[in-house]
Structures are given as structure tokens and as C-alpha cells.
Amino acid sequence: MSENTGKIHFMLKSTPPRLTFHHDMTEEERAIMLKHIAYWTDKQKQGIALVFGPVLNPSAPHGLAIIEVDSEAQVPKLVDEDPAVIAGIMTTEFYPMKAVLPN
């Protein structure tokens, strides 16, 4: 259980600019999304992002990440430094999560 790690968890939900974004992004948007993926891959290597990726719900597509941090104060900075958020093509909201992790 996560209580043993001293870390806290958050669910991040990133919303694209349009429902069809996954299929019709421009070259510029695609380049930004590659930076977005690289950013979260780096956070995964650091042990912050436990899992992340697109949720292909046709009526409400979005990105999802489960992150593990020392304090809630870290979360807005992680979101604000995301290249897709900086570029204004994703909006991200986050919520505390009572994660249950394998031992």
C-alpha cells in the first residue's frame, strides 16, 4: 500500500482542444505532443509518473496520468512545465488519489 512510501498520489486528466485531436492534429501539434510524451517519459524514469497515456474514449478523449510525489505543491509545477500545457493545446486538472500499489 502507498501509505508505506510516504508519497502521495494524484490523477491528472489532460483534455485536448477537440474531440478529433488524436486523429487530425497538425504537424505543429504533433511536434508538441512528442515533447509532451518525452516530458512524461522523463518523469516516469524519475519515478514520478507511475503510468500515463491517452484514453481513447470517442465521446471524451483525454490523457491520464497517475503520479507519485512528496507533496501536493509539486503538482502544479509538473503540470505547468508540460509542453502541451505551455503550448495551450492541453488543459490539465488534477485530483488527490488514494492509490493502492503492489507491495
**pLDDT digit string, tens, across residues 44-87:** 999 999 999 999 898 999 999 999 999 999 999 999 999 999 99
Long-range contacts of 87-92 (CB under 8 A, 24+ apart): 87/32, 89/16, 89/17, 89/21, 89/29, 89/32, 89/33, 90/14, 90/15, 90/16, 90/17, 90/36, 90/63, 91/14, 91/15, 92/12, 92/13, 92/14, 92/15, 92/63
User: Quick one: what percent of the chain has pLDDT higher than 70?
Assistant: 95
Which has more pLDDT, 103 or 29?
29
Domain borders along the chain are: 8-69+78-97
CATH class of residue range 8-69+78-97: alpha beta
User: Quick one: what percent of the chain has pLDDT higher than 90?
Assistant: 87
Residue 2 has pLDDT above 50, yes or no: no
